[in-house]
Structure 1
Amino acid sequence: MLTLPMKRGISMNNITIAGHTLEPGKTIKDHIHVVGTEIHIPHVIICGEKPGKTVLITAGIHNAEYVGIQAAIELSNEIAPADLTGNVIIIPLANRSGFENRTMSLVFEDGKNLNRVFPGDKEGTEADRLAHLLFETFIKNVDAYIDLHSGDGYEALIPYAYYVGEAPAHKVSKEMIDCINTSYYVRSTCTTGGAYNLASMAGIPSVLIERGQLSLCPPEEVQADKEDVYNILRCLGLLEGEYKTYPKTELRELSDIAPCTGCWYPYKKVGDKFKKGEKLGEIRDYFGKTIHTAIAENDGVLTYQTASLSIIKDGPMVTYGVIQKDAG
């Protein structure tokens, strides 16, 4: 079982989060209003009958990533206070207005990508205010954080996970990564913009799990997300029982954005390995003429890519991982 770094006040009695006092054996289901907007965010707080640490689970920061959203909804109805040492907070749908208006990764009101604006701004636009509330009310007040993501409506991907490699609590984050049942993980160097990135830099052990693609919601992938969360909770000591660790390969992530708009024709499938210099796909114009060829700059494994015919200039095209030689 991992020993989490202590955060002031989190494991003491009479904790208050989102206006709710966390009392042993209590389950709270509520919405919190994002001041200055019309947005209300659903959240569930499950208070264990025994005192302990507080873990946050979020989904729907990108609102068309449905596997994580459904997994979070099911977890919120399955985790019982009697089984819990500590507290679990679940936000099953962080970008509610985007979900209800099918804006894919964007907040409906201002068109911003929520996972690019953390820690937010209480005086900003809707996405800024939402990120500020999520960070100040929930993220900064917990002992560990699990963020669930998937492939968007145009994104194919293989399951993998991230943690921030140079963060203060990176050793605990890496042990959380070891509990996730994927073949690959990324030791990220990104320390800004994203929810789990900022949490990591604030000393909160954090991981991001990618599972699911194309805005689909297969039950087996929902179940796999849930099993990863349960396994991490056992590792952190919130649930009893043995936890498993899964050997996986470390990747250094490289992303190629689209240099032009047009029709995209990928040559590889996610999960494929390739050599430096291989063609990964082409962008063609509306007469079928090739206007760009994506070439691998390194040997790697394709982790996710645009899967739609439509591709947009400066948008995602292909992302792949370079296998690290010292990976274990």
Structure 2
Amino acid sequence: MPKDILNILGVEVAPGKSVTATFEVAKLHTRNTLEVPIIIERSKKPGPTVLMTAGIHGDEINGVEIIRQIIAKGINVPKTGTIICVPVINVFGFLNMDRLFPDGRDLNRSFPGSANGSLASRVAHFVMTELVPHVDFAMDFHTGGAGRFNAAQIRIVRDNEQLTELAHVFGAPFIYYSQNLNKSYRNACDKAGIPMLLFEGGKSFNIDTNITNTGVNGAKRVLHHLGMLRTKFKVSRPKVSAVIIEESKWLRAKYSGMFKATATINSKVTKGQVLGNITDPYGSFNYFVKAPNDGYIFNVNESPIIYQGDAIFHISTEIKNS
């Protein structure tokens, strides 16, 4: 086979070709086949291979919508190189609007996976053996879970010059230094030598226009930076310079009750500022949640009912401006 032929799932994709391959995840209990589409677009001109994925958690719809727009607008048709898009990896979760697989396993804690393991482990194995070996760079799109709204952010490890540069190119309001979690997709790619930008934004069961616009525009900037974006697409400058969050802490509810946040996502707050309040249904209790330090609020719990110990705000404790 010529070196410039890309082979995924036995499908040969020559330069200049567009192909949708399908990975058969499993059969449902009804014996219907469940498949994951892999959309592959190749330029005739050589260049990098970029993988864009979303839907590792089936209820994180914002990421799916970002890649949907990238495909629908033709952004994934590269000027040079190859772009592989997988809008929904956890198709089981997407069908059921569930974060996890039917067996209760988290796909993002199943990497690098096994050909003979659990269903989630087999899907992780497919990603790491059929897709990742072909790529030079990856972008994975996520959304906040459990009623928590994430500010648009890129998550990378500290002290990686390549990822830091690409994170600034992406142009999200925040760059958040976070360690690679054991058995996560990002960690598996890191061990395989594949740089990845992990985008977080919005909350589950929701499509937020500002978040999806940030994701699509960020992907365009990265593709432009790599020389892959066609000239028909305009590249906008980020509205603000990224704030780099070096350290942060979760504020947890001291009491159970009805919760209303008054601090907005992306806002800069000062120590002692009221961020929200916890009340009871009877009008006899009202507790004000206050900022423990100056910082940026980059995650807010939007659940109206909370319990003692629930994470309600994520606030930066150490930042540096880009």
Into which bin does the TM-score normalised by the smaller protein fall?
Answer: 0.7 to 0.9
Change (3 A) 1:309 1:146: same
Change (3 A) 1:81 1:303: closer
Distance 2:59 2:145 in 1: 6
User: Tell me, which stretches of 5 or more residues in structure 1 are unaligned?
Assistant: 1-10
Change (3 A) 1:238 1:16: same
Q: Residue 90 of structure 2 contacts residue 107 of structure 2 at CA under 8 Å; is this kept in 1? A: yes
Distance 2:26 2:307 in 1: 34
Distance 1:83 1:275 in 2: 45
Aligned partner of residue 138 in structure 1, secondary structure: helix
Shift of residue 154, structure 1, vs aligned partner: 1.6
| Residue 135 of structure 2: aligned partner | 142
Aligned partner of residue 199 in structure 1, secondary structure: helix
Structure 2 counterpart of 1:125, one-letter code: S
User: Please, which of 35, 48, 57 is the counterpart of residue 52 of structure 2?
Assistant: 57
2:201 corresponds to 1:211: yes
| Residue 3 of structure 1: aligned partner | none
Aligned partner of residue 321 in structure 1, secondary structure: strand
| Residue 110 of structure 2: aligned partner | 117
Distance 1:129 1:74 in 2: 28
Structure 1 counterpart of 2:166, one-letter code: M
| Residue 271 of structure 1: aligned partner | 266
Shift of residue 271, structure 1, vs aligned partner: 1.9
Change (3 A) 1:290 1:192: farther
Within 5 Å, which residues of 2 pair with 1:229-240?
A: 229-240=219-230
How many residues are paired up?
312
Aligned partner of residue 265 in structure 2, secondary structure: coil
| Residue 163 of structure 2: aligned partner | 173
Distance 1:56 1:18 in 2: 15
Structure 2 counterpart of 1:29, one-letter code: T
Aligned partner of residue 124 in structure 1, secondary structure: coil
Distance 2:284 2:127 in 1: 46
| Residue 27 of structure 1: aligned partner | 18
2:39 corresponds to 1:44: yes
Shift of residue 245, structure 1, vs aligned partner: 6.2
User: Please, which of 275, 295, 303 is the counterpart of residue 300 of structure 1?
Assistant: 295
| Residue 5 of structure 2: aligned partner | 14
Shift of residue 68, structure 1, vs aligned partner: 1.9
Shift of residue 155, structure 1, vs aligned partner: 2.2
Distance 2:284 2:133 in 1: 51
Greater CA drift, 294-303 or 68-77: 294-303
Change (3 A) 1:289 1:52: farther
Structure 2 counterpart of 1:141, one-letter code: H
| Residue 226 of structure 1: aligned partner | 216
| Residue 244 of structure 2: aligned partner | 250
Change (3 A) 1:130 1:292: farther
Task: For residues 274-315 of structure 1, give each alpha carbon's deviation from its aligned partner in whole angstroms, at most 9, with x where no partner exists.
Answer: 234555455566767769976644422111122012336776
Q: Residue 26 of structure 1 contacts residue 81 of structure 1 at CA under 8 Å; is this kept in 2? A: no
Shift of residue 323, structure 1, vs aligned partner: 4.2
Task: For residues 220-246 of structure 1, give each alpha carbon's deviation from its aligned partner in whole angstroms, at most 9, with x where no partner exists.
Answer: 543432221121111112235596664
Change (3 A) 1:23 1:248: same
Indicate the RMSD between aligned Cα atoms, in angstroms. 3.3
Shift of residue 102, structure 1, vs aligned partner: 1.3
User: Please, which of 304, 312, 317 is the counterpart of residue 309 of structure 1?
Assistant: 304
Q: Residue 41 of structure 2 contacts residue 78 of structure 2 at CA under 8 Å; is this kept in 1? A: no
| Residue 100 of structure 2: aligned partner | 106
Q: Residue 186 of structure 1 contacts residue 253 of structure 1 at CA under 8 Å; is this kept in 2? A: no
Aligned partner of residue 305 in structure 1, secondary structure: strand
Greater CA drift, 132-141 or 41-50: 132-141
TM-score for both structures, normalised by structure 2: 0.81
Distance 1:190 1:176 in 2: 17
Change (3 A) 1:81 1:199: closer
